Chains A and B, each alone.
Chain A
Amino acid sequence: MSAAFHELLHSIEATERGLEGVGYIASRPIATAVYLAHHLRKPILVEGPAGVGKTELAKAVSAWLGIPLVRMQCYEGLDESKALYEWKYGKQLLYTQILKDKLGTALGEEPGLEAALARLHGFGDLFFSEHFLEPRPLLRALREPRGAVLLVDEVDKADQEFEAFLLEILSDYQVTIPEIGTVQAVVPPIVLLTSNSMRDLGDALKRRCLHLHIGLPDAKLEGRIVATRVPGIEAGLRRQLVSFVQQLRELDLKKLPSVSETIDWARVLVLLHAHALDADLVRNTLNVLLKFESDIETAEPQLAAMLQKARREAEPVG
């Protein structure tokens, strides 16, 4: 295990500060998860609604520890030739062609067929060696000399068979390639798996992971996140905006706005040089927060009341 990480990850507080340093405001459970992932050498399975920063967490960890991020996006039909390794068929074919011409010279001096065959065996498994191996994300993550952050994104979208295939990597940080043997990680990568709960993942996979659930943040945390991500925003506007979004989440909506939408909205407001929320502004930019027409219709009649409350809540402090 690299000494450099160990230094950085010496306590949960250090983890929290470190992540904050690269612009990721981690709640206590998140920091604890990253800390434990390193010390117990276990992958983290991150679940939660879309846009709460699951993928972002992996990026932040990689940026903070200064190790490469290897990302593997899962989808239905993903198999090991796309996830782990593939033989370079084209190159193999090309080499056989070249070899065909050279074969005469290579075997020419041998007196009989048997000797020629013996000689041929001597070449070994030329075509199934490292030279012809095309590493895919998983293998690449294992071979990173300084360790890596391996992000297996949306693992719930992959097939169940693929999940089973991941188990070896997740528990032992090694993979088995039939033609070559077992490849062991140089430095065990920090593995994050994300899931949107499209389907329930298998117990075997869950058992091997730390399970982190990231929910929608409370007002305080969200305020800090917006402050870090959109530094140009005024404090008063930020408080209004956070309070407004928090209220919006209490409505009965199809898709609740999550943190990424809040940040987008904050950016939009900064671009528009807004200093405070007002009814027109909100109405015109509401589509940044709400992605369904029906949701906008639900929210519309209550905008005025929510705005008022947001202003009131922002005031006493600012």
Chain B
Amino acid sequence: MQGPLLDFLRAARSAGLRISPAESIDAVRAVEVVGFTERERLRDTLSLVLAKTVEEKRQFEECFDRFFRRDSFRTEGPAGPGAAPSAPSVSLPGEAAGGGGGGALARMLLEGDQPGLATAMEQAAAEAGLSNIALFTQVNLFTRRILERMGLQELEREIAQLGDAPAATRLRQGRDWLREQVKDFVRQHLQLFAEGENERYREQRLQQTRLTAISRRDQDRMRILVRAMARRLATQYGRNRKRDRRGQLDTRRTLRRNMGWGGTPFLTVWKQQRIEKPKLVVLCDVSGSVAALAQFLLLFLYSLKEALSGLRAFAFAGELIEVSEILEREPVEKAIPQIMDRIGFGSSNYGNSLADFERGWMQILDSRTTVIILGDGRGNRTDPRVDILKRMADRSKQIIWLNPEYRTIWGTGDSDMLRYAPHCRITAVCNTLKHLERVISDLLRDGG
């Protein structure tokens, strides 16, 4: 009875649920307690044991329904057009040839024995190891293997022997129908067992693709990935954390703590360092090619909100505006086009934008603020105003500059990157999701 359950666990894993071996054992034990008889009950039970978040519950239910709905055969189409019902009277050469049960498949086809065929197919599929299917290119391979195990060769021989007899036509139709059925069955399995594999592969690839090169089709998937990544970081760093400074007694708090027993220090209290949540100001270049990257950075930061205290976002191209409010109000995927409408697509002017910032918002920088600037540092040969960046660096805790271009081309052409770089604590190449995650995670770890 464990066979189908284990198959289901595999299917659930490939649907994206994380199921540990311990949970598999729990599932088996739980099913022993409640039994296999009632589908609803089984579903409740497995959902309790296997799915551990609301999102996972939804995935689980989808997968459960898909898995237990695949009752093998489409019942509406018996063997070919009008073939089966009248068939039994036809005598089969398979018997004459003494094929020792070789004619079983032919007989089932002629008699329209649906359950028999279904069982045979399931069995053949199990023998062929169908649940190991991983790629869509394997569909034909597995179809052939299953058909062979069901006795296709035998069937072909019989058809050849029958020649032009009406039974042969019927068998031929039956064979084609069966092939389609098996193929469908294999495809279903592919969907059930292999979907997750493909998904995982695609996600891995996406994480390493340059963000500017991601196609529109993949952007939705990207957003989901970004959110998931941000959520992971947020839970890790979402709270105020403390770090013990080893060996330093906090005298005041020790005395206070031990007041109850006359100041005899039963309990010692050590000095601690609080790791603050970072306070961020983000300046994003939204001109031309950097915009795609800016979108993901902003999405990332906004999904991270709970791990940050106060986030101000600015966008600039020719000039600079604050976009925190737009981002607050609208989901990022809608907000970005809005921002682009207002200032985007112009040629960037870093000097001008920095001047705008100094004029309007310089006072929000303080010693706890980290400034992240995202841009290629190409100001189209306008005055870079490095002096403003220097003043910003003096006021704030640090400046981190993320540049989508590779280091080797910094400073070439109209790039002012090398002139800005001395005032930044960190300059980093950042053009894939992996890079982005690494930078933000470092930032959170040190408390900005």
Binding site for B on A (CB under 8 A): 12, 28-29, 32-33, 35-36, 39-40, 42, 44-45, 47, 76, 89-90, 93, 159, 199-200, 203, 206-207, 209-213
Contacts and interface: CB of A to CB of B under 8 A. Distances in A.
Contact of B34 (A29, A32, A45): A32
Nearest to B54: A213
Nearest to A11: B34
B238 A93 contact: no
Interface in B213-248: 231, 235, 238-239
10 contacts: A32-B34, A76-B239, A159-B239, A200-B231, A207-B22, A207-B23, A207-B52, A210-B48, A213-B54, A213-B57
Given A90-B261, A212-B48, A213-B57, A36 B34 contact: yes
B261 A200 contact: no
Interface stretch (B25-33, B186-194, B271-279): B25-33
Nearest to B49: A210
B347 interface: no
Contacts of B33: 35-36, 39-40
Contact of B26 (A42, A45, A90, A199): A42
A93 B264 contact: yes
B231 A32 contact: no
B44 A29 contact: yes
B52 A40 contact: no
A10 B64 CA distance: 26
A206 B52 contact: yes
B200 interface: no
A28 B34 CA distance: 13
A210 B23 CA distance: 10
Interface of B: 18, 20, 22-23, 26, 29-30, 33-34, 40-41, 44-45, 47-49, 51-54, 57, 231, 235, 238-239, 260-262, 264, 266
Nearest to A210: B48
B51 to A, nearest CB: 6
A39 B238 CA distance: 36
Contacts of B20: 207
Q: 5 smallest A-B Cβ distances: which pairs?
A: A206-B52, A32-B44, A210-B48, A200-B235, A211-B52
Contacts of B235: 199-200
A88 B48 CA distance: 41
B238 A199 contact: yes
Contacts of B51: 211
B54 A89 contact: no
Contact of B30 (A40, A93, A206, A212): A40
B49 A12 contact: no
Most A CB atoms within 10 A — which of B20, B44, B53, B54?
B44
Contacts of B264: 93
Contacts of A159: 239
A28 B57 contact: no
Contact of A29 (B18, B47, B54, B260): B47
B48 A29 contact: yes
Nearest to B42: A32
Contact of A32 (B18, B45, B266): B45
A39 B32 CA distance: 10
A89 B29 contact: no
Given A47-B54, A213-B57, A33 B260 contact: no
A252 B266 CA distance: 54
Contact of B44 (A28, A40, A44, A203): A28
B239 A33 contact: no
B48 A32 contact: yes
B261 A36 contact: no
A293 B352 CA distance: 43
Nearest to B258: A89
A28 to B, nearest CB: 6
Contacts of A12: 34, 41
A159 B40 CA distance: 37
Contacts of A210: 48-49
Contacts of A203: 18, 52
Contact of A89 (B41, B52, B53, B261): B261
Contacts of B266: 89
Given A42-B26, A200-B235, 9 more contacts: A12-B34, A28-B41, A36-B34, A45-B52, A199-B235, A199-B238, A210-B48, A210-B49, A211-B53
A33 B44 CA distance: 8
A45 B48 CA distance: 9
Nearest to A212: B48
Contacts of A40: 26, 29-30, 33
Contact of A28 (B40, B49, B52, B231): B40
B153 to A, nearest CB: 49
B363 to A, nearest CB: 31
Contact of A36 (B23, B48, B260, B262): B48
A89 B264 CA distance: 11
Given A93-B264, A211-B48, A36 B30 contact: yes
Contacts of B231: 200
A93 B261 contact: yes
B368 to A, nearest CB: 22
A90 B260 CA distance: 8
A101 B74 CA distance: 92
A32 B31 CA distance: 12
Given A12-B41, A200-B231, A33 B48 contact: yes
A36 B45 contact: yes
Contacts of A200: 53, 231, 235
Contacts of A35: 33-34
A35 B49 CA distance: 13
A209 B57 CA distance: 15
A205 to B, nearest CB: 10
B282 to A, nearest CB: 24
A13 to B, nearest CB: 10
A52 to B, nearest CB: 13
B214 to A, nearest CB: 27
Most B CB atoms within 10 A — which of A47, A76, A210, A212?
A210
Nearest to B231: A200
Nearest to A205: B52
A287 to B, nearest CB: 27
B102 to A, nearest CB: 49
Contacts of A45: 52
A248 to B, nearest CB: 22
Nearest to A30: B44
B237 to A, nearest CB: 11
A42 B52 CA distance: 14
Contacts of A33: 48
Contacts of B18: 203
A285 to B, nearest CB: 31
A66 to B, nearest CB: 23
B207 to A, nearest CB: 21
Most B CB atoms within 10 A — which of A12, A36, A44?
A36
